[in-house]
Structure 1
Amino acid sequence: MSHVAPAPLLIATRESRLALWQAEHVQALLKQRFGLDVGLLGMTTRGDQILDRTLSKVGGKGLFVKELETALEEGRAHLAVHSLKDVPMDLPDGFALAAVLEREDPRDALVSNTYASLAELPQGAKVGTSSLRRVVLLRSLRPDLQIEPLRGNLDTRLRKLDDGQYDAIVLAAAGLKRLGLASRIRATFDTSEMLPAAGQGALGIEVLADAGPLRAQLADLIHRPTWLSVHAERAVSRALGGSCSMPLAAHAVWHGDTLHLNAALGHGQETTRPLLRVSVEASVADADAASALGEEAAARLRALGADGYLATP
């Protein structure tokens, strides 16, 4: 197998506890499945360094992946593991998404030391999140809440809550569960209330586009239902010019062979504008059909007036 993959194979990863868990998870899979010698290359990204501004103001979630891509380009690593919701909808030329693993819980979670649910939060309670999607969805559920920026890795966010800076914070359930912190979850939002971000809860493996043998090997790790779901979700965002400065939610679920895709778009500035919501479904057998379903959802959002929501102020 030495002609298939370099030895040792190196995974580029951010150094947060969650990122390392994700990289180690893929490392273990590659060792178990293929008997490969796999190491980790830990890195600090711009997204980890800039903590005083929201991501949408400093370049978006791509700040978490750019340095890892540079390591691939320079041959210092051979693959990178990402939370898929952090991966830009259009990868730079020369890079490819080789695999998506089976999704963990895709939902958002309410974490609080005092209150057991969103409904229990008092009028004007301070809730932390830096996701524009979560901001607009929370505002639609509880317009009275004081929603404050919350940056940093998972442990940093929890520490800020524990220090009393917030009454509650909203985090992805997947990250908490992966780190054995499920006990911190006070309530999990139903997807009908808080529709997840495209790719939330899924791990993606990125490689150089011309790494043919490695891509072919990694394709064995693809979890097909998740792979098709996230293609549909990401296509919504791509068709609307998606970035993290867009408060867009997109989440697909399977019912038999039919993929049901829900999408919602909020207005980033005008909080009184209603959420735009659409739901589409189709029998989906491949990535092209999944992407077409996402494009249909985007077209329906445009028909509801999405362009007026997307215009930059």
Structure 2
Amino acid sequence: MVQDDLKNFTTPVFPFTAIVGQEEMKLALQLNVIDPKIGGVMIMGDRGTGKSTTIRAIADLLPKIEVVTDDPFNSHPTNLELMSNEVKSIIQKNPADIKTEWIKIPMVDLPLGATEDRVCGTIDIEKALTEGIKAFEPGLLAKANRGILYVDEVNLLDDHLVDILLDSAASGWNTVEREGISIRHPARFVLVGSGNPEEGELRPQLLDRFGMHAEIRTVKDPILRVKVVEERTSFDQSPMIWIENYESQQQELRDRIVEAQQLLPTVEIDYELRIKISEVCSRLDVDGLRGDIVTNRAARAHAAYHNRDKVTIEDISKIITLCLRHRLRKDPLESIDSGDKVNKIFKEVFELED
């Protein structure tokens, strides 16, 4: 009985709908959940501004997912892209052997001192040679499949590890090779990085790989600060009452996100708007086409979030700064544009008045 209680015990998480302010960060996270192919979020801001709290809150808010029981990769029972090779072969031989269960969306924290083996997983060469089987020990990328991978202080992480994370997030797969043995497994997750700009920025090449960049600042208004402090204190004293009070709002947002995910494939964006998005990117001298692609994706996700099947200029105006501001920095010593430059060019191209 005690064991069951321990198994069912979870640490209370501050409700997402109760978070005051930080709209930019909340919007970026919601859009990435609606369409993980946007490419993740980089959240830069002062210490103690609720970055970790908000990221844990969005993971807790999301609906449960169906996975194959006892599968280390959270394999989807029907979608081949989200399924490990072992599950695929079982389905081909005898689909009746597949048992499933519903779990909370995985939220994986990547510690700063993590090694490449811990992140990607390891192959037991000795076992492979003596027993003739691929003995693979899954890493954090396997755990994060179909969930959220959170890297706090991502700007302090080794560049080659950031590269591995971004490659997996972009391709949806992780490949581990040791001594001629190769293992490949699905690793489709929303990559969320956070950091404090005082401790240094990511190199422009790595920063460009993040889909969106949200900036957060410490709240200056004393009344709002007091409200935040009071709410946090009240939650710490009686978390379960708080969670119950916000349950209807949480469920409403949960339903809205699920509906947006279902609507997303049907959302269209007019050719004229796509031309103008690319003109903004061109005039801002954004390298490559990643900025164009992400802006199109985010605009469609924003339209789906507002239950529309056609992108409007309003949708683009809400997300274009988040998608482009971190792509303007060519010199690692430059600071990231606050968004004014993007906004100015956006208004000129779309012929909007200030």
User: Shared fold by TM > 0.5?
Assistant: no
Query: Which bracket does the TM-score occupy, shorter chain normalised?
Result: under 0.3
Superposition TM-score, scaled by structure 2 size = 0.25
Superposition TM-score, scaled by structure 1 size = 0.28
- Greater share of strand: 1
> Larger Cα Rg: Structure 1 or Structure 2?
2
